[in-house]
Amino acid sequence: MADRDLLPLIRNARAGNAGAQFALGKIYLSGGHGVSRNPATAFHWLQKAAAQGIEDAERLIGDAVPSSAVADPVLAAPIYERAASAGSRNAQKVMSHWLLSDAGVGSDEGRGLRLLARAAEKGDRAAQLRLACLYQAGDGVEASPEQAYYWFEQAAIQGSLAAQQALAERDWSRSDPAAMKWLSRAAKRNDVQACYRYGVMLLSMNRVQEAVPWLGRAAEQNHAESQLAFGLLHAARDGARVPGVAHSYKRAVHWLERAARLGLAQASYELSKLYSLRNFSLRDPATADRYLEQAAERGHAHAQYLAGLAYLRRRLEPDADLVAVTWLERAARLGHSEAAALLRRTCPESPAVPHGLAATRAEAIRHIGQSDLAIAVRLELACAFGLRVRQALTVDPLAADRANCLLVDLRGACRGARRRIVLIGNAQRREVLDRAKRVLQFHEQEPGAAAEKYRRCHRAMIAVCAKLGIDPALFEPPESTDRPGFAPAKTHRARAR
């Protein structure tokens, strides 16, 4: 509320007294006498005073009133134009903003940039920052990283947090030690990301005691990576106690759980390791497994590998191998070499078929399809997935499709059969499998056990191949007798005898 001694001034200003209007505008520009700083109200009174011929009011508008305080740039533009021509850097900055943003005073990018550059050269921090952003984005000027970072540095020296962050980001991404300079400045202004990165750089220089307060400050503000780092400092799993940080698994769990709740996969993975420790009083294998799967779900490659390995060991659980394959495939796609090697052993592929043989098979399947479409798609399935003919003729594609793999499990239907998982892996295999599902859904409606269906399909295949003069062995995968899935045919004959 305005002080009592200000009330006469307000009455005189409202009555049209130019001197009172100028004085009131100055008060609102800086605040005082019981009123808060208000540039918009200051502009209102200063503009009225300037309209009555008070030159100092016009000069003060150009030097001190920001563009955000002006409701109508068109009416105010002449004042700022005159101030800009007189060399006012604030007026130059305001006019450049209006000219570059098409605020109604005309669109002149060239003149706007020249005015912005003049204000920046005179040391206006906001102008320096905006000019840096324009050069960085190539907005109205030719993109120039050198010019951009020159102006970022000028603004940063004057205390622009945004400029300090931009410079820190550049140096951090290049692993340049110069990042320390800008990170320290931004961190002291409580920028959370800067606190974390500054702490990490101090840790890398073995300045642990200096790093701890910065990481702690960021962790308290819910910065997940800082909470992870802070939790690991408390854990001190390698046995080396960290100066200034109490060695406590429980405190480590506290910070890691906070980071995990924010979605950090590495935090979930570290929690799974902590809950597995024998010397941790809260040791809980079930909780460890839960956090391991959480980390795997969030894309942690090694957690996915360990989850796959764990499921492979659960041999008595139904479809545990399918879950294992899913995790191993996800880890392999993220470049985990151990997962890729284990996946190859779990889901071995048939040897590659020579191009000439593949073309011959495709032509034979095309001819068979003209006589018996169901047999053709089953043989196509055999060729695409490296299945033996007997497997392809028996498997139910609809039931065998497990999204990322084909499950060939005919143990209940065929003597000597073994469970086999084949990765789908590419769009071509997916297309073949989907076509087999669509076709066989309508072409094989006869009831019967799997063994009877196989005999029916086998007779149909032999008949159509004999009719077209095609050798059924053409569709067997190379070295198929060494592949998992079925025992060799001679073994079946020997047992039958």
CA 70 centroid distance within chain: 41
The span from the CA of 312 to the CA of 293, in Å, is: 14
Contacts of 494 (CB under 8 A, 6+ apart): none
Q: Which comes out higher in pLDDT, residue 459 or 239?
A: 459
Instruction: Return the H-helix or E-strand segment holding 253.
Output: helix 249-261
Compute the C-alpha angle 173/178/184, nearest 5°: 95
Q: Is the pLDDT of residue 90 over 80?
A: yes
Confidence of residue 142 (pLDDT cuts 50, 70, 90): confident
- For residue 125, what are its two tokens? 């921090």
pLDDT of residue 490: 39
pTM of the model: 0.73
User: Under a CB-based contact definition with an 8 Å cutoff, are residues 81 and 115 in contact?
Assistant: no
Confidence of residue 69 (pLDDT cuts 50, 70, 90): confident
User: Under a CB-based contact definition with an 8 Å cutoff, are residues 303 and 269 in contact?
Assistant: yes
pLDDT of residue 486: 33
The span from the CA of 146 to the CA of 144, in Å, is: 5
What average pLDDT score do residues 336-350 get? 94
Contacts 24+ apart (CB under 8 A), 455-463: 457/374, 457/375, 457/378, 457/393, 457/394, 458/390, 458/393, 460/372, 460/374, 460/375, 461/372, 461/375, 461/378, 461/379, 461/389, 461/393
Q: Is the pLDDT of residue 310 over 90?
A: yes
pLDDT tens digit sequence for 434-493: 999 999 987 765 555 777 888 889 999 999 999 999 999 999 987 643 343 333 333 333
**Beta-sheet strands, E only, within 118-161:** none
**% of the chain surpassing 90 pLDDT:** 58
Confidence of residue 224 (pLDDT cuts 50, 70, 90): very high
Compute the C-alpha angle 73/79/84, nearest 5°: 100
Q: Is the pLDDT of residue 367 over 50?
A: yes
Average pLDDT, rounded, for the chain: 87
Q: What is the DSSP letter of 473?
A: G
pLDDT of residue 446: 59
Contacts of 131 (CB under 8 A, 6+ apart): 113, 116, 117, 120, 151
pLDDT tens digit sequence for 163-210: 999 999 999 999 899 999 999 999 999 999 999 999 999 988 988 889
**% of the chain surpassing 70 pLDDT:** 92
pLDDT of residue 105: 60
pLDDT of residue 102: 66
The span from the CA of 428 to the CA of 384, in Å, is: 8
CA 468 centroid distance within chain: 55
Q: Which comes out higher in pLDDT, residue 231 or 73?
A: 231
Confidence of residue 239 (pLDDT cuts 50, 70, 90): low
The span from the CA of 293 to the CA of 494, in Å, is: 47
Of 61-70, 153-162, 199-208, minimum mean pLDDT range: 61-70
What average pLDDT score do residues 372-383 get? 95
Partner residues linked to 35 by β-bridges: 32
